[in-house]
């Protein structure tokens, strides 16, 4: 009998990887132990937040790229493999920082390195298609999607008379802001006073798509949709076609693999804290449509749902007996040690052609007094190991990580297993967020355990 017939599999789930430095040269015990834990799993997943290419090579930056234009040099993929990663989502919000050429180079370098990857492609069908990893204990499928992408970054669909174009498996979505009737009327009066309503009417007369008639219950204002309701709230909805086609791919992976991972890179947030939080890390829920996507992915056949993008760990849910990571956080956070950046990055901070990457980092983070580098929570992370037996979930272990908050730029960003108070703080926060889903996380021997 095949070993895979026993239904045993161990799947490690880590978050976003922003990789700019070597990994294989270090030897801290807490780092090497992390590597051992990863290698003990059959499938080891993470999400690559970069374009893989050589600096100063053919890809050109596109003007609407990410806050930091992320480059991972090709040889660093070998270091990622050394650490243990063998299953990669690569259709993230930074996938097209260097345009369609960067997407194609990333695919080429990952293929050359023998890295199994999903989430981007030469056209939409390829970007949606599952990738498959063969392990001694069975075949693991991956379908990877992304909700945070620049205009033109979503891969183009093939037609009989036209080719598609490279890009990511983008999930389109829309957001509605709920206001009571009085506030909605106030907003409408503002729109009338400054000519926005007249502009909307001109667009409708031109036949522009998506310009429905305004009503007492709905109002378009500066590119946002406001609707009437009892109290202020934010609601979001995925594009029905994108949702349907991605569920079809997950079902395909289910039919062709022993276990399936569904991945969603998502920056969109929701829940009550979205209305009051002053830091991104203080928002405790993903957007409504991302939660719905996770549930539908499990129903379509995924064994694990890996959500990432919020840059801090969020709740863990066990849905229909399958683990759902609403936010698995960040795994490697080396966005400050890029060797080169394009002119477009410097222009955002009014830096001239003599500026260096160090000047850019100083301008963006103001000497570690704002942004990512000033927020401890973004440097306290985790990764998970999901054990299956007989095809059913047996246990989830959450391993807390420290990424070097407060350490020099040349050192921080690489994960070490956390211990003591830091470990308890990291697991405690995720346990608190998970209770709303009925998930019990026990803190045992320095890690979180779900059974």
Q: Give the separation between CA 259 and CA 137, rounded to whole angstroms.
A: 10
| CATH C-level class of 3-143+240-450 | alpha beta
pTM greater than 0.85 (yes/no): yes
Least Cα distance to 286 among 436, 401, 400 occurs for 436
Domain ranges of the chain: 3-143+240-450, 181-228
Q: Give the separation between CA 274 and CA 232, rounded to whole angstroms.
A: 11
Provide the token pair at 342: 């394009």
Residue with tokens 């600096």: 55
CB 290 within 8 Å of CB 307: yes
pLDDT string in tens for the chain (451-residue length) = 899 999 999 999 999 999 999 999 999 999 999 999 999 999 999 999 999 999 987 678 876 655 799 999 999 999 999 999 999 999 999 999 999 999 999 999 999 999 999 999 999 999 999 999 999 999 999 999 999 998 889 999 988 898 899 999 999 999 999 998 889 888 888 888 988 878 777 877 777 766 666 677 888 888 889 999 988 989 999 999 999 999 999 999 999 999 999 999 999 999 999 889 999 899 999 999 999 999 999 999 999 999 999 999 999 999 999 999 999 999 999 999 999 999 989 999 999 999 999 999 999 998 888 988 999 999 999 999 999 999 999 999 999 999 999 999 999 999 999 999 999 999 999 999 999 999 999 999 999 999 9
Provide the token pair at 21: 């430095």
Helices 196-205 and 181-193, interaxial angle, to 10°?
80
């Amino acid at each position: 009998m095949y070993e895979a017939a026993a239904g045993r599999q161990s799947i490690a789930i880590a978050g976003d990887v922003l990789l700019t430095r070597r990994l294989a040269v270090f030897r801290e015990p807490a780092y090497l132990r992390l590597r051992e834990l990863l290698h003990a799993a059959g499938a080891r997943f993470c999400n690559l937040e970069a374009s893989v290419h050589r600096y100063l090579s053919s890809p050109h930056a596109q003007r609407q790229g990410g806050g930091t234009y992320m480059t991972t040099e090709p040889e660093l993929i070998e270091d990622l493999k050394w650490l243990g990663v063998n299953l990669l989502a690569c259709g993230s919000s930074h996938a097209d920082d260097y345009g369609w050429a960067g997407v194609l180079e990333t695919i080429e370098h990952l293929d050359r390195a023998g890295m199994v990857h999903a989430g981007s492609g030469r056209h939409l069908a390829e970007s949606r298609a599952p990738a498959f990893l063969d392990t001694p204990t069975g075949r693991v499928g991956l379908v990877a999607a992304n909700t945070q992408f620049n205009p033109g970054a979503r891969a183009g669909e093939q037609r009989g008379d036209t080719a598609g174009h490279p890009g990511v498996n983008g999930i389109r979505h829309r957001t509605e802001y709920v206001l009571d009737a009085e506030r909605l009327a106030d907003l409408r009066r503002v729109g009338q006073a400054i000519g926005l309503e007249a502009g909307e009417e001109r667009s409708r007369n031109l036949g522009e798509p998506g310009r429905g008639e305004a009503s007492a219950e709905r109002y378009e204002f500066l590119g946002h949709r406001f609707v009437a309701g009892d109290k202020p709230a934010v609601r979001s909805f995925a594009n029905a076609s994108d949702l349907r086609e991605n569920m079809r791919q997950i079902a395909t992976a289910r039919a062709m693999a022993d276990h399936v991972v569904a991945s969603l890179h998502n920056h969109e947030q929701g829940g009550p804290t979205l209305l009051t939080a002053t830091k991104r890390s203080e928002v405790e829920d993903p957007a409504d449509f991302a939660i719905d996507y996770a549930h539908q992915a499990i129903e379509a056949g995924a064994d694990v749902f890996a959500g990432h993008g919020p840059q801090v760990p969020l709740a863990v849910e066990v849905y229909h007996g399958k683990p759902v990571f609403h936010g698995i956080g960040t795994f490697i956070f080396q966005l400050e040690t890029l060797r080169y950046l394009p002119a477009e990055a410097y222009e955002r901070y009014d830096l001239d052609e003599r500026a260096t990457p160090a000047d850019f980092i100083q301008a963006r983070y103001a000497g570690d007094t704002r942004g990512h580098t000033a927020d401890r929570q973004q440097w306290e992370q985790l990764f998970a190991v999901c054990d299956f037996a007989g095809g059913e979930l047996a246990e989830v272990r959450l391993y807390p990580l420290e990424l070097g908050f407060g350490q020099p730029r040349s050192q921080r960003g690489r994960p070490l297993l956390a211990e003591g108070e830091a470990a308890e703080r990291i697991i405690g926060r995720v346990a608190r967020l998970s209770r709303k889903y009925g998930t019990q996380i026990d803190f045992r021997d320095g890690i979180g355990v779900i059974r």
